[in-house]
Homo-oligomer: A and B are copies of this chain.
């Protein structure tokens, strides 16, 4: 138990904020955690389940006296929230966020913040297909990466302190430059999500293949796409709108490659297909060796589902 911040304010109380709260409590990382959500219903739920030591009815009240303020709202709402809390921030406080896009958040939030606070954007690479205040759990960040994207001129001590905070919540911490972050995430997250959404939408549209058949026979591969495509719609709308260029670039590469494989299928070029599929298998091995997934068949799900 080592307190890193005296008072942490979580603005927005969804999956990430609620998991942060339980991870903070697990290791006693804060003296007090305040919370605020725009919707009264979410605040009621939070109070009912004991999420946050104190749930406030305004963002201003939540951030008052906090030495760490974390914006946990969809990327598209960050600017507005920053404008709302800026006059109420304590001098010397650190302001951070958990958005999946970094350049756009820095652009939206930065200009609102007073000079006497430290702005250290962050992005924990963790999540599930569930959302809302009741979906969080203390182990969400364990052995996941949290990327810190400090802007130029940030106090190094504030960065180190926030890094230690994330480590104590279970994460591995790295720093990265904003544009590079947005490109890496376009590859590892944003493009895969759009592709999964698309495939699930196509399946839903095909009237010759009834919905019930698609659902019944989903275990053949499709169901993994549906998990990804069940993620929070507002969060993902904002991700695509704010990481537009990198996402479109990766999707362009994807389409090019897909066309080459479609051509191989059409012309019956089995060697091309076999070579390609052999190469992709090696990447999976790397991910398991890096501790970022389980080697259990079917994610160990074979036993979990009856």
Contact = CB atoms under 8 A, between A and B. Distances in A.
Interface of A: 76, 100, 125-130, 135, 137, 139-140, 142-145, 147, 183-185, 187-189, 191-206, 208-209, 211, 213-231, 233-234, 236-238, 240-241, 244, 247-248, 250-251, 253-255, 257-258, 261-262, 265-266, 268, 270, 273-274, 276-281, 283-287, 290-294, 296-306
Given A196-B221, A201-B279, A206-B250, 4 more contacts: A125-B217, A195-B258, A202-B254, A237-B277
A261 B197 contact: yes
Given A184-B209, A253-B202, A299 B301 contact: yes
A127 to B, nearest CB: 8
A128 B251 contact: no
A277 B215 CA distance: 17
Contact of A185 (B217, B227, B266): B217
B200 A237 contact: no
B218 A292 contact: yes
Given A184-B213, A222-B188, A292-B223, A230 B126 contact: no
A302 B137 contact: yes
22 contacts: A100-B220, A126-B219, A128-B298, A142-B306, A143-B305, A145-B217, A145-B219, A183-B209, A187-B214, A188-B214, A193-B221, A194-B258, A196-B221, A201-B279, A202-B253, A219-B293, A224-B228, A226-B283, A237-B270, A237-B273, A244-B268, A296-B304
A240 to B, nearest CB: 5
A198 B297 contact: no
Contacts of A193: 221
Contact of A221 (B140, B189, B241): B189
A212 to B, nearest CB: 8
